[in-house]
Amino acid sequence: MAVSAETVKQLREATGIGLMKCKEALEATGGDIEKAIEHLRKQGLKTAEKKAGRATSEGTIASYIHTNGKIGVLVELKCETDFVARNDDFRQLARDLCMQVAATRPAAVSRNQVPADLVAKEREIYAEQVKDKPPQAIEKIVQGKLDAFYKERCLLDQPFVKDPKTSIADHIKQLVAKLGENITVGRFVRLQMGE
């Protein structure tokens, strides 16, 4: 199906993705912009997964000081090239992550950074809480509680404060797809007066 240049332009403005990719997505979805956006997002997640192993040695360190001056955050956001590090979308992500850390107090960037002894302790507590349940259900319940623990404590697992339906990891993957480079959160520091 042939799609109009105007429709391609509208999709490009809505997504920031290249014209050819927009045209291909519109052709694949019969010219429907909403379906094309969904198609591009699915393709983008595949692209992000392919780029996940690539080295990230450039980036930025973003900061945030809360209006009362009692909470401060630094976030190291990494990418592959200096070109992307200067991109407005990349810098906005860094600022958004600072706000996320200030608001939600994560303990680690990802699950593999949570100390194993803390995970074992939490698992033990959850198992004790559900010990009277049927044995075949205990492990599923404990794993569900552990997943909720990670969602609260790990930055990448948390729902994005600006779009709670999307996790931070998925939000980053969407930007990876848009910019065409791997993006990782290096580390963060959150300081609060009196803590």
- pLDDT score of 168: 94
Q: Which of 131, 106, 122, 120 is nearest to 187 (CA)?
A: 106
Q: Count other Cβ atoms within 10 Å, centred on residue 98.
A: 22
Report pLDDT for 189: 95
- pTM score over 0.85: no
Question: Comparing 5-51 with 58-110+154-192, is the CATH topology the same?
Answer: no
Domain boundaries along the sequence of the chain: 5-51, 58-110+154-192, 115-152
Question: For position 36, what pLDDT does the model report?
Answer: 80
Q: Tell me the per-residue pLDDT of 142-175, one tens digit each, with 9 for 90 and over.
A: 889 999 999 999 999 999 999 999 999 989 988 8
Rg for the chain, CA atoms, rounded: 20
pLDDT of residue 54: 60
CATH superfamily for domain 58-110+154-192? Elongation factor Ts, dimerisation domain (3.30.479.20)
User: Is the separation of the CB atoms in 78 and 166 below 8 Å?
Assistant: no
Instruction: Report pLDDT for 37.
Output: 76
Nearest-angstrom CA–CA distance, 108 and 23: 40
CA–CA distance, 30 with 32 (Å, rounded to integer): 6
The parts of the chain modelled with pLDDT lower than 70 are 1, 13-19, 41, 43-56
Q: What are the backbone dihedrals phi and psi of residue 161, each rounded to the nearest 5 degrees, phi first?
A: -60, -30
The 3-class secondary structure across 85-132, one letter per residue, is HCCHHHHHHHHHHHHHHHHHCCCECCHHHCCHHHHHHHHHHHHHHCCC
3-state secondary structure of 186: strand
Q: What confidence score (pLDDT) does residue 34 get?
A: 81
Give how far Cα 32 sits from Cα of 2, 23, 43, 48, Å.
12, 11, 16, 24
CATH homologous superfamily of 5-51? Ubiquitin-associated (UBA) domain (1.10.8.10)
Q: According to the model, what pLDDT value does residue 64 have?
A: 95
